[in-house]
Chain A
């Protein structure tokens, strides 16, 4: 059981939106500081750069930036921390990371290049999310 020590250290609830904001930024900083070791573990040197991964993480965080309930933010932070721990303890594999964080966040279809030039924007929006 090689679980990292980072697993359960967060107190259950943020008192306010401001504290949740601080936690988000701390999580982002931790994730950014561990990007070099992630690239080292999974040999992603020739596939992605540090700044690309950093902007991927930032866009994931920004996807949920409309939230105002601190408890929901805490829950998402917990899931994010859990994901980061899984990645760092090598519980994932290289193709997981490439598929989820490198290739494309838009349902893996939009960024795959020339094969999909012809599909309509309706389909692209459909693959992206339920609401458009």
Chain B
């Protein structure tokens, strides 16, 4: 049973069929061996590429976002602005958030979808979204 659990945690698309078949048959042995070998091929490339996309937010992007937020909300210079600070904690209402997103659109030349812009609550999220859009545009 522990072998089937590890098989279902793989990131390769092949896992869609293997674990279900093993559950139906109750025979774990052959199928897990096969899927583990697929895993050895698939693991390095998938894992590194996934991590690369999600963690990348260049410091100058975060810096620019911080500047825009500071200018938009008219924050005095001594308020500390970390990448994790929420817009609502800095005194922004929802219209301010939308305006910040629009000024980021203008600054970086990207187009943010409506659904994505509703999920932006912190500086770090905004920087990540900008990175993703800039990379997909380039």
Out of A26, A33, A50, A65, name the residue touching B95 (CB < 8 Å): A65
User: Given A21-B94, A61-B95, A62-B95, A29–B114 Cβ distance below 8 Å?
Assistant: yes
Interface stretch (choices A51-59, A74-82, A110-118): A51-59
Tell whether, in the assembled complex, residue B95 and residue A32 are in contact, meaning their CB atoms are under 8 Å apart.
no
User: Which bracket fits the contact residues of A?
Assistant: 10 to 19
Size bracket of the B interface = 10 to 19
Q: Is the CB of A50 within 8 A of B94?
A: no
B61 within 8 A of A: no
Q: Which of A54-106 contact B (CB under 8 A)?
A: 54-55, 58, 61-62, 65
**Could you count the A-B residue pairs with CB atoms below 8 Å apart for me: how many are there?**
35
Q: Determine the distance from Cα of A61 to Cα of B93 in the docked complex, in whole angstroms.
A: 12
Task: Render B100-122 as a binary contact track against A, CB cut-off 8 A, 1 for contact.
Answer: 00110110000000100000000
- Taking the closest CB of chain A, its distance from the CB of B95, in whole angstroms, is 6
**B125 in the interface, Cβ–Cβ < 8 Å?**
no
Interface of A is mostly: helix
Does residue B99 face the partner (Cβ distance < 8 Å to A)? yes
Quick check: A54 and B99 within 8 Å, CB to CB?
Answer: yes
Chain B residues, CB < 8 A from A51: 103, 106
CA distance A62 to B96 in the complex (A): 10
Q: Is the CB of B98 within 8 A of A50?
A: no
Q: How distant is the Cα of A51 from the Cα of B72 in the complex, in angstroms?
A: 9
- Bound: A21/B93 CA distance, A: 12
Cβ of A84 to closest chain B Cβ, rounded Å: 15
Cα–Cα distance between A50 and B105 once the two chains are bound (Å): 12
Q: Which residues of B contact A (CB under 8 A)?
A: 93-96, 98-99, 102-103, 105-106, 114
Ordered by A's residue number, 9 sampled pairs between the chains whose C-beta atoms are within 8 Å are A21-B94, A25-B98, A28-B95, A29-B102, A54-B102, A54-B106, A55-B99, A58-B99, A65-B93
Q: Identify the 5 closest CB pairs spanning chains A and B, nearest first.
A: A32-B102, A25-B98, A58-B99, A28-B98, A50-B106
